[in-house]
Structure 1
Amino acid sequence: MSGMKARTTMKDIARAAGVSSVTVHKAIYSKKGVSSETREKILRLAEAMDYSVNAAASSLKRGALHIAVVLQSVSNPVNYFFRSMWAGIDKVERDLLDYRVRITRFECGDDWVSQEKILASIAERKDIDGVVIQCWDETRLNGVIDRLYDQGIPVVTANSDAVGSKRIACVSGPNERIGRLAAELLRAFLPGGGKIVMVGGRPGVEIHNAHRRGFRAFMEETGYSFPIAEVDGDGDPGRVRNDFSRALDGIEDGGGVYAISSRDTLLACREIQERGIDDRVRLVGSDVFRELVPFFEQGILRATVWKNQQAQAERAVLALYRYLTGRQAEWEPIGIGVVLRNNLEDYL
């Protein structure tokens, strides 16, 4: 063991900087009482000396952290996407068990109004240190998110953002690239062209708008000259299905469908199956869940774009935890993948 390098401590940094260990602690954790010049000097030394915070030890010295997570309820059987996000929350809770982190789950409805009520109730409490939320509208939650921040309760958004708010970080996939990838797949599946229908997504949710932008941008850049219709996925599911059914009328002789969300992917699978047009219509969907397996096996669903929503939820909590323990709430982009019939089991 004599060849192992000893871990740098705050005392080592204090000795090198000519200050006390208390001053080093304040500088590293962005506490008050340290001049900017001294703070910069200490941080430079910490980096040069390869100092890393021992989070497990630090957690023993502070009180427990209480994080609220606001995601859509999975009591609704069509919330396939959120099953994976909640699985990510369960995993990160286990990972943080030794760091005195407690997670309280708030299951919201399928709208921003129910989320606003939950966030407002959190603002009235005194026991929550931070919030992770997937936003059902890109701006309408900004007021309550800003209120929480001003009260010292930081918010991290997961999957979809609160654009222009005081949220401290957003953990999401490369959303325009997701749309471009779906477009590239459909172009490959439609060498002769044909009408395309984009179904699903919500106009108020920025990630869905980004998927559409990326999809159309790729098609325009590659000179796709056939019509691309859009069916809004917001509102009553029966209405969405009727609108999608009418849009399919023009592509039964050959064309493609891009389903933007998990729910709309299953809707599109069932509609194409019922019409018996899977030999003429190429479908690219979103995400991966068990209910899609039969449609992959039957050739109705040609591919989906996997957004790794479990990792999005996990990393959103970790980003908030880092911030609450005095570090930067930054994470690398979430990776995406293409799921085909032959690699489907790798993603389930």
Structure 2
Amino acid sequence: MARKKETLKSIAANLGITHTSVSNAFINPSKVSVKLRKKILDYAKSVNYHGPNPAARSLRTGLCGAIGIIYNDQLSYAFSDPHDIAFLRGVSTVCEERGTNIVLIPLKNSDLDNFESLDAMVDGYILNAPYKSNPTTQRALSRGLPTVVVDFESPQHISVLTNDASVMQEMTSHITSLGHRKIGIITFPLKEGSQALFSLEREPETENYVVNQRLQGCRAALLNEDIELSNILVQEITNSRKGGAEAAQILMNAVPDITALICFSDQLAYGAMEECRRRKIDLPGRISITGFDGITPYDLSPELPALTTVRQDADQKGRKAAEALLNKASVKSNQIDIQAEVIIKDSTAKVWNL
């Protein structure tokens, strides 16, 4: 005679515990002790029970047990950029504690229709620094699911934001305090696909909250020193070391006596440093370079000086975003602030006398 199929209720009865405890062991492990969860899972394994059926659970609760994370680039970038890796680690840590799965959805995907990705069964979204007008962003927001946005201002949703403007003002003030006046700025695109070279005097339209805040911080610091914004060039470029090298080349060709490059990510900064090394330019004696993120790549050349940067806790950003999405009722404010700080190291020095 075939053995009766085990269920949550039968396992609970056999172990003399509540049905809720057994359910939590599978789908909400943080609500049971480590010892009890092990007891439940060991018993379930012995009777060949692998957990509640996801489809049945969805029908019963109206929940899928998964959240979607929307990235502002291809997934390959999310798994190669140190900042995004740390952010995803923070999200994953919280999701593991809650027994929640993750669906990764890129804004850029050359092979698949992202609209199909958005049709995946999820209970809510974390939008990680997306461009506002991107169709994937707009479609996700229009679904009406619980949503937390990161590095993205959206009054109707919980936002996880870094003090980008104030910390970039502090970084720029550090550069001007060293005597630098011929300064270039390297940023990721203001709008998707844009790679313009423009003067900081111009007030550009941007769909990227982070870029806007960091430019405002630079502008405020330079105005405090009565530096003409028309003399400060800004280059948009793909956020990568290759992009940083290309942008540095453009700026150094446009302003041969430039003495400082302010970069809006460490990836861009390291690329700029590598371009300077290729040109045999002394760092920081001839050109000072700053970054933003505070995460050192594993394959960085030891010949490069330690980078002056803004350290932000990407892991914490991921944790806060996931906690806000999974515990929305307990969030007291629609804005969660993450404080970044300037870290001064060896890549900046007093201006070189031409």
Partner of 1:92: 94
Equivalences for residues 1-348 of structure 1 within 5 A: 56=31, 65-71=65-71, 72=73, 75-76=76-77, 78-94=80-96, 96-97=97-98, 101-108=99-106, 111=108, 117-118=113-114, 120-121=115-116, 124-125=119-120, 127-141=121-135, 143-149=138-144, 153-161=145-153, 163=154, 166=156, 168-188=157-177, 190-191=178-179, 193-204=180-191, 205-225=208-228, 227-234=231-238, 241-249=245-253, 253=257, 255-277=259-281, 278=283, 279-291=285-297, 298=303, 300-323=305-328, 325=329, 328=332, 330=334, 332-341=336-345
Instruction: Note closer, same or farther for the CA distance 1:236–1:291 as it changes in structure 2 (3 Å cut).
Output: closer
In 2, the alpha carbon distance for the partners of 1:335 and 1:300 equals: 25
In 2, the alpha carbon distance for the partners of 1:197 and 1:314 equals: 34
In 2, the alpha carbon distance for the partners of 1:240 and 1:304 equals: 15
| Helix, strand or coil at the partner of 2:260 | strand
Instruction: Note closer, same or farther for the CA distance 1:299–1:56 as it changes in structure 2 (3 Å cut).
Output: same
**Contact 1:134–1:159 (CA under 8 A) maintained in structure 2:** yes
| Helix, strand or coil at the partner of 1:249 | helix
Higher mean C-alpha displacement, 176-185 vs 310-319: 176-185
The structural deviation recorded for 1:267 is 1.1
| Helix, strand or coil at the partner of 1:179 | helix
In 2, the alpha carbon distance for the partners of 1:326 and 1:184 equals: 38
Could you say which structure has the higher helix fraction?
A: 1
Percent identity at matched positions? Answer: 13
In 2, the alpha carbon distance for the partners of 1:332 and 1:247 equals: 36
| Helix, strand or coil at the partner of 2:122 | coil
**Contact 1:80–1:262 (CA under 8 A) maintained in structure 2:** no
**Contact 1:287–1:304 (CA under 8 A) maintained in structure 2:** yes
What TM-score do the two structures reach when normalised by structure 1? 0.65
What TM-score do the two structures reach when normalised by structure 2? 0.64
In 2, the alpha carbon distance for the partners of 1:331 and 1:236 equals: 29
Matched positions, count: 266
Across the aligned residues of Structure 1 and Structure 2, the Cα RMSD in angstroms comes to 3.5
5+ residue gaps in structure 1?
Answer: 1-54, 343-348
In 2, the alpha carbon distance for the partners of 1:286 and 1:241 equals: 16
5+ residue gaps in structure 2?
Answer: 1-29, 33-59, 192-207, 347-354
**Contact 1:159–1:170 (CA under 8 A) maintained in structure 2:** yes
In 1, the alpha carbon distance for the partners of 2:221 and 2:164 equals: 13
In 2, the alpha carbon distance for the partners of 1:276 and 1:90 equals: 42
